[in-house]
Amino acid sequence: MPSTALKIPPRERLIVALDVPEAAAARDLVETLGDAVVFYKIGMELSMAPGFFELIHWLRERGRNVFVDLKFFDIPQTVAHAVARLSAHDVQLCTVHGNQSMMEAAGRAKQGALKVLAVTALTSLDRGDLDDLGFACNVEDLVLSRAKRALQAGCDGVVSSGLEVQRLRRFAPAELVVVTPGIRPVANQPAGDQKRVMTPAQAIAAGADYLVVGRPVRTAADPRAAAQAIQAEIAAALEP
């Protein structure tokens, strides 16, 4: 069933991924989408381009929320310093992808409204990939373990495929923030490099708080209409 513990406004649940090569292209997409989207993810590609922090400030000045998805992974002190510095830029969400000490460092360093999310298992990984990485447990067990450890470490939530969210909601605390990537508005739409995907309605029904959507909006013939359709699907899935 839909998650209600966090009282998130329905229109803030859609996070559009600005996976474009430069800040100017990101601003163009944001302007195209207009008021159809109020939350954006900035990832690794844009962090390598000029104007990364200027783009964050530009989004915040326009009342948009920002999710910085850089998956901090380094020695705990470095992770802590990165999270602390990011807190100064009025960002709402960020990610850490490390062991317990890294997650604890991130949890201690966050300030203000910033929430720290632990990455569980990337949606581009399947069972064979996890075998190659040495994880003997199944994906659901791995995600649940990571979620529980993230909360113990002081993180606010996790990034998790929608396929694992339902179990998280059964066994993890209600305050756990769950951000779900790998969202495809149509069930038979090509998944690209994502291997564990769901539709928006399926993910909301499973208990996801936020849905990250990239290519289905960005490459649509009419990105604004595509975003509005996803917003409508989210709203319908949230109805009692």
The DSSP output letter for 34 is: G
- Whose CA is closest to 109, among 150, 78, 152? 78
CA distance 5 to 216: 28
Q: What does the block give as tokens for 125?
A: 């990984």
Percent of the chain surpassing pLDDT 70: 85
Contact 229, 24 (CB under 8 A): no
Helix (H) or strand (E) holding 70: strand 65-72
Could you read off the pLDDT of 61-105 as tens digits, one per residue?
A: 999 999 999 999 999 999 999 999 999 999 999 999 888 999 999
Question: What interhelical angle do 139-152 and 100-109 show, nearest 10?
Answer: 40
Q: Tell me the whole-structure pTM to 2 decimals.
A: 0.88
pLDDT at 219 exceeding the cut of 90: yes
Tens of pLDDT, residue by residue over 156-204, are 999 988 888 888 888 878 888 999 998 988 644 554 544 457 899 999 9
Which of 7, 41, 71, 115 does the annotation list as catalytic?
A: 71
Q: What domains lie within the chain, and their CATH numbers? A: 10-238 (3.20.20.70)
**Local structure of 113: helix, strand or coil:** coil
For the question of residue 71 being annotated catalytic, the response is: yes
- Render pLDDT for 114-149 as a digit per residue (tens, 0 to 9): 999 998 754 444 555 455 545 555 667 777 888 888
> What is the pLDDT confidence band of residue 3, given thresholds at 50, 70 and 90?
low
